[in-house]
């Protein structure tokens, strides 16, 4: 099969191209600077000129204008979505028959299918195990360099914290939402925010009186969905900072994140780590790798957890439904069910009984072979 790989400078591009070729496919990469995913006339014209010689187009995440191109060329468009939420899944092009959309969060997929999206299917994510094993070969036998590592965004800067920018809610409404946030950050694996007994339709209607979103009409989104995801992101920002600060009172905690985040107290901020060349080494050389799933991911296994296991790292994660489904708890992954449970398990792992946990490297052999590309 001759594949046109549409690259928007995604960090997993090289891995995907390598795996396509291992599967016997021809691949040509078309690189695009991320701009407007809904319409890019010049790019569409270029793709139509060269696209006739290809059997399909592939991209990471769903890009609506690629659907338009593939419709005209009468070839399939396959994509793997690794973000949740992913706004382009609410575009008018999503149900076009050329689309073969795969997404990693089963609850998100089920919801979209119930809403009439018939081009989306569920699939786990994967890693390029061969590349990682080659990269980590020289590190074999090397002692750990980090006690606890967390690699990811903190969502505590102004660019992400939209909830705190809404300063005009009446006291009773703000108090209710703050209470939900406080309760949600203590419990893993249960989406209180999406429970209508917690945030009722009446509360949502009242919110509409005070919070308005500038919807362009390009995506078929309702304001309730946007606001609930705003709350979920707020929970993630608060809990990531708080958990790291709590752990830092007892352990050495190293953070790798992009510029712009406020460093939690007591945590060593080591800056940005390159996805391909640095990140696997960090995971392999950390005694504990912490995963705190973004709350908008309601059931799926986030890419970060898979990256950790792909590097043979010791993974301590919040409970996530699909992590518990695919991996043996206590043998391949350590799962925490509440904030207190996470802190206690960190302490236990560091106790004299730490050798009873046999997770180091257990996750890599099974998940390293999982790849959406093999299923397209």
Residues 216 and 360 in one domain: yes
Angstrom distance (rounded) from CA 259 to CA 108: 30
Residues 112 and 143 in one domain: no
Residues 151 and 116 in one domain: no
How many separate domains does the chain show?
A: 2
Which domain, by its residues, includes 32? 2-123
- What pLDDT does residue 38 have? 56
Considering the domain boundaries, does residue 374 fall inside one? no
Burial state string for 212-221 with b = 16 or more CB within 10 A and e = fewer than 16: eeeeeebbeb
pTM of the predicted model as reported, rounded to 2 decimal places: 0.91
Last residue of a domain, one of 93, 123, 153: 123
Residues 146 and 168 in one domain: yes
Integer angstrom CA distances of residue 195 from 140, 191, 227 = 47, 7, 14
- What pLDDT does residue 363 have? 45
The answer to whether 297 and 105 have CB atoms below 8 angstroms apart is yes
CATH number at residue 312: 3.40.50
% of the chain with per-residue pLDDT over 90: 72
Residue 235 pLDDT more than 80?
yes
Residue 114 pLDDT more than 60?
yes
Residues 115 and 207 in one domain: no
Residues 50 and 197 in one domain: no
Residue 206 pLDDT more than 70?
yes
Angstrom distance (rounded) from CA 222 to CA 295: 19
**φ and ψ of 311, to 5 deg:** -90, 5
337-362 pLDDT per residue, tens: 999 999 999 988 877 544 555 544 44
- Helices marked H in 124-278 — which ranges? 129-136, 162-165, 171-184, 201-208, 223-248
> Residue 111: in which H helix or E strand, if any?
helix 106-114
Give me the sign of the Cα torsion angle 275, 281, 282, 287. Answer: positive
Residues 134 and 59 in one domain: no
């Amino acid at each position: 099969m001759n594949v046109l790989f549409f690259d928007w400078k995604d960090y997993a591009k090289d891995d995907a191209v390598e795996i396509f070729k291992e599967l016997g496919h021809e691949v040509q990469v078309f690189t695009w600077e991320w701009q407007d995913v809904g319409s890019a006339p010049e790019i569409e014209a270029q793709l139509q000129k060269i696209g006739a010689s290809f059997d399909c187009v592939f991209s990471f995440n769903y890009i609506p204008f690629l659907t338009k191109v593939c419709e005209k060329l009468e070839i399939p468009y396959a994509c793997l979505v690794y973000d949740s939420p992913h706004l382009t899944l609410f575009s008018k092009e999503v149900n076009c028959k050329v689309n073969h959309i795969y997404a990693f969060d089963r609850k998100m997929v089920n919801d979209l299918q119930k809403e009439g999206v018939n081009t989306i299917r569920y699939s786990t994510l994967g890693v390029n195990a061969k590349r990682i094993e080659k990269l980590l070969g020289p590190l074999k036998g090397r002692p750990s360099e980090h006690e606890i590592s967390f690699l990811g965004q903190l969502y505590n800067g102004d660019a992400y914290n939209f909830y705190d920018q809404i300063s005009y809610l009446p006291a009773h409404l703000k108090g209710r939402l703050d209470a939900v946030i406080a309760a949600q950050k203590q419990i893993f694996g249960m989406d209180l925010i999406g429970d209508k007994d917690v945030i009722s339709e009446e509360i949502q209607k009242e919110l509409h009186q005070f919070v308005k979103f500038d919807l362009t009409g390009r995506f078929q989104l309702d304001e309730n969905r946007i606001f609930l995801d705003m709350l979920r992101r707020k929970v993630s920002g608060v809990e990531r900072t708080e958990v790291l600060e709590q752990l830092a009172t007892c352990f050495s905690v190293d953070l790798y994140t992009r510029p712009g985040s406020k460093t939690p107290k007591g945590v060593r901020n080591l800056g940005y780590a390159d996805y391909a060349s640095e990140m696997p080494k960090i995971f392999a050389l950390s005694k504990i790798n912490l995963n705190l799933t973004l709350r908008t991911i309601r059931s799926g296994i986030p890419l970060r957890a898979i990256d950790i296991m792909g590097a043979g790292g010791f993974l301590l994660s919040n409970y996530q439904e699909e992590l518990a489904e695919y991996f043996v708890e206590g043998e391949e992954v350590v799962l925490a069910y509440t904030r207190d449970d996470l802190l206690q398990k960190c302490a236990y792992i560091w106790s004299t009984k730490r050798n009873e946990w046999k997770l180091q490297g257990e996750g890599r052999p099974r998940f390293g072979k999982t790849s959406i590309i093999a299923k397209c």
